[in-house]
Structure 1
Amino acid sequence: MAVQSAEEAYQIVLEQSQRVIDLEKTNQLMRWDSDVMMPPGGAPARSSQRTTLSAARHRYLTDDRLGEALNVLDDADLDDGQEAIVREVRREYTTASRIPDDLNDEISAINSRAHESWKEAREANDWSAFGPLVAEHFEVKKQWSNHVDPDGDPYEVIWSQRTGYLGQPHISLETVDRIFDTLREELVPLIEDIHESGTDLATDALSSESGEFDTATQKELNRAALDAVGLDWDRTRFDIAPHPFSFGNPYDVRMTTRYDETDLTEALTGTLHEFGHTAYAHGLSQEQYGTPLGEPRGIGIHESQSRFFENHVGRTQAFWEHFMPTVREHYPQLEDVTAREAYEAVNQVFKDNFIRVEADELTYHMHIILRTEIERDLFHNRITADEIPELWNDKMEDYLGIRPSTDNEGCLQDPHWSRSLPGFIGYTIGSVLAAQLDAAMREELNEDVDELIRDCELGPIREWLTENVHSHGQFFRADELVREATGEDLTADYFVEYVNEKYRDLYDLD
């Protein structure tokens, strides 16, 4: 039956949007379960289940009735919120409708199988168990790009047009390249100065080669950290996974971390990182759940929240002045460790930094740039998937002066190439935006932000982030949201200023 009125058309948009979002969230729950609860033998059925959910989402998103409804609404008299909802649904409909059902099903099947093969490859410490799935994934994503825009650069198309949770529309690849160029220029000499400084930080204050930080006590400690920053436990589960993540909605977030019994910092910084994602989900409008106004603005914006709480809260001396007594309660053997020493430990710039999620704020971005360069080369057929381990190791040596000795230490450390392309740009976008948001917040708040962190009275900070970022959902385009929140376009300048001030002080650089 043909759509008769704008009112009827708008209701169809809302109904289809609800179904699409529900299916995506259910798929995320399936992913959470596969890493946290599913028995080891469940992988074959789980791959099929997730493929079915993704296929159903695609078909709701490309339904002819939705296309007809969007056409009816082309010239309709809508309020600003309705216009934003229609704009975002139309954007995803336009992209998704260009993808054949069989290609979408194939991508979903490969994603599910690839994630399980990554876990198997990690267990075996062998890239060859994962590489063929990576090659398949890149090939089908090239087909995806060609269907969406056959005349565009395929890597730029997949960056700018990707739909769903992992999409980041409205931040151009040109902006990404400009930010990466700034970071290469500014961070490499700063890292070199630090390595040559000879300053001796308390790098081992929260670590021990004896493995004395048992996982059970670390779980309690990390829950205490989440209590300190104000996690809403009524809307959150907190578990262990091979790679930390947080998926959810304003009502229900599944959050994970992982533990190292020789070092407290990996879990604590990872937990605070995932808390940032969780805070974003909790800050979205409950009333708008099921519409774009109740959805995050993109993966780069999402990462700005995780990097904010990881770095601009969790890596501050003020936070450790508050939290170090709690650490001592859980691990009395650290009774002589001061807040300053803990601050130095979580901010050390490593010379042998192989693992991205354990990286400091400076070398972290060389990890991101390395991965992005490999992605682009593979996407443009300049390399093959079986060349990745050697190329990865060469780039690590060029950028950071170190060479991984195993695949797990190198190209197998992240699962992202099983599901997302581009897989890593959002982390650096998020880091530079976190610094920009921090600067804007400090200018606007009539409170001492460091004192708020020192007292772990984070209400004003979270309220500012909710008001300026979370609560808008997708009302604004991503570039507009950055300007609304900070008064400026996205820039790496605040991040460069922040790390120079922080690390030149830490390492006594002139």
Structure 2
Amino acid sequence: MATADTDDPYAALRDHVERITYLRDATGLLNWDQQVTMPEGGSPARAKQLSTLSGTTHDLLTEDRVGELLDACEAADLTDEQRAVCREIRREHERATSVPSDLVSRHAEASSEAQQVWQDAKADADFEAFAPTLDRLRELRVERAEHIDPRADTYPTLYEDNMPTLPLETVERVFDTLREELPPLVAALRESGTELARPFEGQTFPEAEQAALNEAVADFLGYDWDRGRLDASPHPFTSGTQFDARITTRYKPEDPLDALTATIHEFGHATYQLGLPRDEYGVPLGSARFEVHESQSRFWENHVGRTRAFWEAFLPTFQEHLSGVEDLTVETAYEAANRIYPENRIRVEADELTYHMHILLRHDVEREYLDGDLSVDEVPARWNELMDEYLGVTPDDDAEGCLQDIHWTTRFGGFPSYTVGSVLAAQLTAAMREDLDVEGCISDREFDRLREWMTDNVHRHGQRYEADELVAVATGERLTADYFLEYAREKFGDLYDL
């Protein structure tokens, strides 16, 4: 080890980890470009580029020097924040060192190539065209899991790739509660006889109008255009850092709320990225918690963008940018934004409540497939079976079924984060209400006060706390489904006259 490392092992460790972060963020920009602006013919070269970057990043993370620096830091006099950085790096280093570099590169290349295969297969509603690629990705991830922990089942190991500091047992407890409580609530809403407004039926809205509307809603909420941009992509997503957080949406001619809620959702993700400490960029203190990220998007989408207060404030802007909505009222817009439609087959188009049945479906299919209880050829039938069980509908084709999500091209075990996000968003909103008049802030367009609360209680901590502890720090208690269920019963009970 160099003398400088010996004199200040933490400084040397930080310098090394910053280089890793910069490479990862460059990878993120290439992924953004691939989904937003890259011509279709660029895929072969992009796959090689991403494979090389992933392999280089993996090599840097797994160097023996990282372990030596971490050991030296353990004996050093560090602050609590510095020890948190070391904790996060050690977890990642130890996990990464168990995985061969060539496997990382092979998966990165296969993942990049898979995105175009998935897009083509989805366009043709042809799962058989994607099945060999999906099985190859599964083989690579199973191989990875076996290197990490050969004694464990595959799914829990890959789950920890996504949410390492929120125990799977906690998530399963939340899911068990939702499995018990949500179906009776949805059934009661269905049987209430109440029909909510559908004001956009029979209309179409040009993409140009919708694009202007979605720029306007980002403006309305306070998106920092100096550190972000809004584009269109096949699947809405957010990419970036505290200096550059880009969002995308997609447009459906017959449903302006689809893009609008997607934009608000991704805006929420961007607020988290942009709220991270700038002077900690490059190390875990300046990085978001994946386990918590979805709570930020769900807060803005559901607890802001689907409220009466929001529509009272935003309706004039909505009407300014779209033609044919001059007679739309606040109450009609509010009902349209919150109507449940269990007959829907598409997760990203699902209503706020039945959305979670889509997540439970994916959780079950993924676990069975990864643990070897389901072959790739059986995936479509199992998907359709569970969709019928959870939602009472079946897909018309594979594009409406098991091909609808891009996620399996990049990772497995990440779907639980979406329901965790909604559950945590309700818990955070309840805590926020102890300090702020949330509805009043929305009505008065004081969105900066909502962002500041989230920054003070969530964003500024980066990864100082593990996710389970961060939830407790922000809300005063560990993750629970109670606040989400209370919120759902009150909101939808009011809408459907229960």
TM bin (shorter chain): over 0.9
Q: Which residue of 1 aligns with 2:185?
A: 190
- Contact persistence 1:368–1:425 (CA under 8 A): yes
Amino acid at match of 1:367: H
Q: Which residue of 2 aligns with 1:475?
A: 464
- Contact persistence 1:285–1:471 (CA under 8 A): yes
Q: Deviations over 1:276-318 (max 9, x none)?
A: 11000000011100010000012x2000101110100011111
Alpha carbons of structure 1 residues 403 and 475: separation in structure 2 relative to 1, 3 Å:
same
Q: Deviations over 1:67-116 (max 9, x none)?
A: 21112122211011111111111111010011111111121122111122
1:48-87 aligned at under 5 Å gives the runs 48-87=48-87
Q: Which residue of 2 aligns with 1:461?
A: 450
Q: Deviations over 1:294-349 (max 9, x none)?
A: 00012x20001011101000111110111111111122421111111111001111
Aligned: 1:44 with 2:35? no
Any idea what SS the aligned residue of 1:145 has?
Answer: helix
1:268-417 aligned at under 5 Å gives the runs 268-298=260-290, 300-417=291-408
The size of the alignment, in residue pairs, is 498
1:194-233 aligned at under 5 Å gives the runs 194-202=189-197, 204-205=198-199, 207-211=200-204, 213-233=205-225
Q: Deviations over 1:36-72 (max 9, x none)?
A: 1111111111111111111111011111211211121
After superposing the two structures, state which structure 1 stretch, 425-434 or 109-118, moved more: 109-118
- Contact persistence 1:6–1:73 (CA under 8 A): no
- Contact persistence 2:159–2:414 (CA under 8 A): no
1:156-175 aligned at under 5 Å gives the runs 156-160=156-160, 162=161, 167-175=162-170
- Contact persistence 2:114–2:409 (CA under 8 A): yes
Q: Deviations over 1:407-466 (max 9, x none)?
A: 111111110001111031110111100000000000123xx2101112221121110000
After superposing the two structures, state which structure 1 stretch, 418-427 or 237-246, moved more: 418-427
Question: What do you get for the CA RMSD once the two structures are aligned?
Answer: 1.2
Query: 2: CA distance between counterparts of 1:238 and 1:151?
Result: 45
Query: 2: CA distance between counterparts of 1:191 and 1:250?
Result: 39
Q: Deviations over 1:130-180 (max 9, x none)?
A: 2222111112111111111122232112212x1xxxx32211111111011
Query: 1: CA distance between counterparts of 2:273 and 2:202?
Result: 37
Q: Deviations over 1:458-503 (max 9, x none)?
A: 1211100000000110011111100000000001110000000000
Query: 1: CA distance between counterparts of 2:203 and 2:455?
Result: 42
Query: 1: CA distance between counterparts of 2:7 and 2:481?
Result: 44
Query: 1: CA distance between counterparts of 2:73 and 2:155?
Result: 32
Unaligned runs of 5+ in 2: none
Amino acid at match of 1:452: C
Query: 1: CA distance between counterparts of 2:246 and 2:220?
Result: 19
Aligned: 1:111 with 2:111? yes
Q: Which residue of 2 aligns with 1:259?
A: 251
Q: Which residue of 2 aligns with 1:238?
A: 230
Query: 2: CA distance between counterparts of 1:4 and 1:449?
Result: 51
- Contact persistence 1:417–1:423 (CA under 8 A): no
Query: 1: CA distance between counterparts of 2:433 and 2:355?
Result: 25
- Contact persistence 1:393–1:410 (CA under 8 A): yes
Any idea what SS the aligned residue of 2:450 has?
Answer: helix
Q: Deviations over 1:356-375 (max 9, x none)?
A: 11111111000000001000
Any idea what SS the aligned residue of 1:333 has?
Answer: coil
Query: 2: CA distance between counterparts of 1:61 and 1:128?
Result: 37
Q: Which residue of 2 aligns with 1:181?
A: 176
Aligned: 1:452 with 2:447? no
Any idea what SS the aligned residue of 2:246 has?
Answer: strand
Q: Which residue of 1 aligns with 2:132?
A: 132
Query: 2: CA distance between counterparts of 1:275 and 1:6?
Result: 43
- Contact persistence 2:359–2:419 (CA under 8 A): yes
Q: Which residue of 2 aligns with 1:499?
A: 488
- Contact persistence 1:3–1:69 (CA under 8 A): no
Q: Which residue of 1 aligns with 2:9?
A: 9
Any idea what SS the aligned residue of 1:334 has?
Answer: coil
- Contact persistence 1:3–1:9 (CA under 8 A): no
- Contact persistence 1:103–1:140 (CA under 8 A): yes
Alpha carbons of structure 1 residues 3 and 184: separation in structure 2 relative to 1, 3 Å:
farther
Query: 1: CA distance between counterparts of 2:195 and 2:463?
Result: 46
- Contact persistence 2:5–2:12 (CA under 8 A): no
Q: Deviations over 1:9-39 (max 9, x none)?
A: 2122112211111111111111111111111
- TM-score, with structure 1 as normaliser: 0.96
Query: 1: CA distance between counterparts of 2:497 and 2:368?
Result: 39
Q: Percent identity?
A: 50
Shift of 1:4: 6.7
Any idea what SS the aligned residue of 1:201 has?
Answer: coil
- Contact persistence 1:276–1:307 (CA under 8 A): yes
Query: 2: CA distance between counterparts of 1:315 and 1:201?
Result: 14
After superposing the two structures, state which structure 1 stretch, 110-119 or 473-482, moved more: 110-119
Query: 2: CA distance between counterparts of 1:154 and 1:290?
Result: 30
Query: 2: CA distance between counterparts of 1:452 and 1:68?
Result: 50
Query: 2: CA distance between counterparts of 1:359 and 1:351?
Result: 8
Segments ≥4 residues shifted beyond 3 Å: 1-8
Unaligned runs of 5+ in 1: none
Aligned: 1:428 with 2:419? yes
